[in-house]
């Protein structure tokens, strides 16, 4: 894991994708996230919008873009649920910002780094969600940390498979 200055890494390693990819991949992740739980039943231990947010934030290395993408994905997820709109939005906003900030400073091509990043950011997202819902809003919430742990593991495994596939979509100069 080599440490570089933020500006030099950003200049050298910003990934660019066709515009269609920015639109279709997040949309596909939201649609699949809504549809797949009906197929896999109770084993829906994954959060595809979170994985995609982390991927684009790491690739673009822009905290603002990561923040906006995280906020958008989270708000869409909230809109499909029956909970308050903004809880997922806040969690994924922070995750997008942090992923982009980390991506500036460390090498993120390594699979182990990706796995650890996804695992830790998934848990962080759950913590922020729980904190916002329980303490900021003061609402009652049934919660299972075991499920959140399983979700973090699931996200990490999906990221290992998905990130190399999405890498092929980037524009080569």
Using CB under 8 A, list all residues that contact another protein: 27, 30-31, 33-35, 37-38, 41-42, 44, 47, 49, 63-64, 67-68, 71, 75-90, 93-94, 97, 101, 129, 132, 136-144, 147
With tokens 């200055």, the residue in question is 5
Rounded CA gap, 57 and 173, in Å?
20
With tokens 């440490």, the residue in question is 3
Q: Radius of gyration over alpha carbons of the chain, in Å?
A: 16
**Closer Cβ to another protein, 43 or 164, answer by number:** 43
**Which tokens is 105 given?**
């400073």
Q: Minimum CB separation from another protein for residue 147, in Å?
A: 6
Q: Minimum CB separation from another protein for residue 79, in Å?
A: 3
Q: How many CB atoms lie within 10 A of CB 170?
A: 13
**Closer Cβ to another protein, 43 or 111, answer by number:** 43
Q: Minimum CB separation from another protein for residue 142, in Å?
A: 4
Rounded CA gap, 115 and 98, in Å?
15
**Closer Cβ to another protein, 79 or 109, answer by number:** 79
């Amino acid at each position: 894991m080599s440490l570089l200055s933020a500006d030099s890494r950003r200049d050298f390693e910003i990934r660019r994708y066709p515009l269609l990819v920015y639109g279709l991949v997040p949309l596909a992740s939201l649609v699949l996230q809504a549809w797949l739980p009906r197929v896999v039943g109770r084993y829906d231990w994954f959060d595809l919008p979170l994985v995609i947010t982390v991927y684009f934030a790491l690739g673009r290395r822009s905290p603002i873009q990561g923040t906006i993408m995280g906020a958008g994905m989270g708000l869409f997820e909230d809109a499909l649920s029956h909970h308050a709109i903004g809880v997922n939005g806040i969690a994924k906003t922070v995750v997008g910002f942090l992923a982009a900030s980390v991506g500036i400073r460390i090498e993120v091509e390594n699979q182990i780094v990706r796995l650890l990043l996804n695992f830790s950011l998934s848990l962080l997202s759950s913590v922020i969600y729980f904190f916002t819902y329980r303490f900021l809003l003061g609402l009652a919430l049934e919660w299972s940390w075991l499920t959140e742990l399983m979700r973090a593991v699931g996200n990490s495994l999906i990221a290992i498979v998905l990130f190399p596939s999405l890498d092929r979509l980037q524009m080569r100069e």
